[in-house]
Homo-oligomer: A and B are copies of this chain.
Amino acid sequence: MTAQTSQSVTDLIHAMAKNSRVAARQLATLSGAQKNLALNKIADALLANQPRLIAENQKDLDQAQKDGLAPPLIARLALPEKKIAAMAQGLREIALQVDPVGQTIEAYDRPNGLRIEKRRVPLGVVAIIFESRPNVTADAAGICLKSGNACILRGGKEAIHSNLAIAAIIKEGLKAAAIDEHAVQLVETTDRAAVVAMATAEGLIDLIIPRGGEGLIRAVVEAATIPVIKHYNGICHVYLDKSADPDMAVKIAVSAKVDGVALCNTEECLLVHKDLAPKVLPRIAAAFREKKVEMRADPRIIGLLQDAKLAKEEDYGKEFLDFIIAIKSVNSIDEAIEHITRYGSQHTDAIVTSDLAAARKFTTEVDSASVMVNCSTRFADGGEYGLGAEIGISTDKLHARGPMGAADLCTYKYVVLGNGHIRT
């Protein structure tokens, strides 16, 4: 990808980023009230411009039809009234959240009388790359604005008309709140070289977040010289411990799969303690059959699962994002943890148990961003964690791990207060 960087695209991105930096200085010191005003003004403008948005979106939909895009992709691209209303509502909800900027993370006095405060401040300029869904443009802009960051957004080329229209409306909202219109900028070129230019804009962009397929994320990681936070998908496990309440086990094992099969926090593999298996698997199989979930199970338990297929080695550690689940029996909690360590993606894994020691062992030894006890993996979500709007779910360990809210787009500074202190 590096070779594709064309100078004109790089110049364009750098010019944008310089404008972002100027805007970022204003944003960092804005009052919460002014940022919230902007969020509400943008929401107003989105609603006021519904016909225009729908017309621009139609251009993308027409092109998508012409290009023969798959129906699920087209569905993600569509921006009907309902989705526009949801975008506006999302921004109003972000306005209602607590402002993370300026929060004291900790503060204390040192023995020599120096007061040390660790204070939350914006990162500066954040670049976000995403695909297909145009409503991400408004969501991402809203979270960046709330956290005092200028942002440079780059959506998928299939949504370019919709994104341009949304970006223009955001500018109106910013203007109405007297905020530098470069606070939110959309990359208008669909040239892939723009991605490389963003990922290497040292000193201009503070963070790049690629949200999308593995190919996009890999390309950004390979090119990047600035920090990247990756949002890979999840290979999530539910482990039903020997001591699990059978009713709860059945409920969670089924729901974690069927209530949203194509999401990153969906259960892809069910692990069952051998002693519990006979009590729960027939009921689980019945529920899965009813929901048309294909079961791929190990030979030891296949007899308990009517209509299951035999699992192959490659079914473990696989992200189906579909009505398919791998099911495996284990002899112990240790074997379950080993399986998760080997095949999981450190995204979200759950145990169902009534045994305190098992819960403690699982939460300590499973090294995943979210480790759940007696609830569905599907709760791994910024909204469910009370973080407000979410910029995604980080599968990285550095800076932010798991669901990322506005506070996770911040850094901190140490503010040190003395009274003539010198070191000697």
Verify if A8 is at the interface (C-beta below 8 Å from B): no
User: Could you give, for residues 20-61 of chain A, a 1 whenever the CB lies within 8 Å of some chain B CB and a 0 otherwise?
Assistant: 000001001100000000000000000000000000000000
Nearest-neighbour CB distance to chain B for A185, whole angstroms, equals: 20
**Are A114 and B379 interface neighbours, CB within 8 A?**
yes
Do A123 and B398 form a contact, CB below 8 Å, given A252-B422, A370-B416, A374-B417? yes
Q: Which residue of B lies closest to A423 (CB)?
A: B378
Q: How far is the CB of A349 from chain B (nearest CB, A)?
A: 10
A369: chain B residues at CB < 8 Å are: 413-414
State how many copies of this chain the complex holds. Answer: 2
Q: Is A418 an interface residue (CB 8 A)?
A: yes
Report how far A176 CA is from B121 CA in the complex, Å.
Answer: 44
Contacts of A412 in B (CB 8 A): 401
Given contacts A374-B420, A376-B423, A420-B375, contact A415 B124 (CB under 8 A): no
**A398 touching B29 by the CB < 8 A rule?**
no
Of A245, A373, A379, the most chain B CB neighbours within 10 A belong to A379
- Which B residues lie within 8 Å of A396 (CB)? 227
Instruction: Say which one of A65-73, A133-141, A316-324, A380-388 lies at the interface with B.
Output: A380-388
A33 to chain B, nearest CB (A): 16
Whether A197 is near chain B, meaning CB under 8 Å from some CB there, is no
Chain B residues contacting A418 (CB-CB under 8 Å) are 372-376, 379
Q: Which residues of B contact A403 (CB under 8 A)?
A: 414
A379 contacts which of B363, B370, B376, B421 (Cβ < 8 Å)?
A: B421
Given A255-B422, A376-B421, A398-B411, verify A110-B386 contact (CB < 8 Å): yes
| Cβ-based interface call for A340 (8 A) | no
A206 at the interface (CB under 8 A from B): yes
The complex places the Cα of A260 from the Cα of B424 at a distance, in Å, of 9
Q: How far is the CA of A225 from the CA of B221 in the complex (A)?
A: 6
Assess the B374–A422 pair: CB atoms within 8 A.
no
Report how far A28 CA is from B365 CA in the complex, Å: 8
Q: A283 at interface (Cβ–Cβ under 8 A)?
A: no
Counting CB contacts under 8 A, is A163 at the interface? Answer: no
Q: Are A413 and B401 in contact (CB under 8 A)?
A: yes
Q: Which 9 pairs, one residue from A and one from B, show the smallest C-beta to C-beta distance?
A: A375-B418, A255-B422, A375-B421, A397-B411, A248-B420, A399-B399, A227-B398, A378-B423, A370-B414
> Given A110-B386, A376-B418, list of 12 further CB < 8 A pairs?
A110-B385, A123-B398, A207-B398, A221-B225, A248-B420, A371-B414, A374-B418, A379-B423, A398-B399, A398-B411, A401-B414, A403-B414
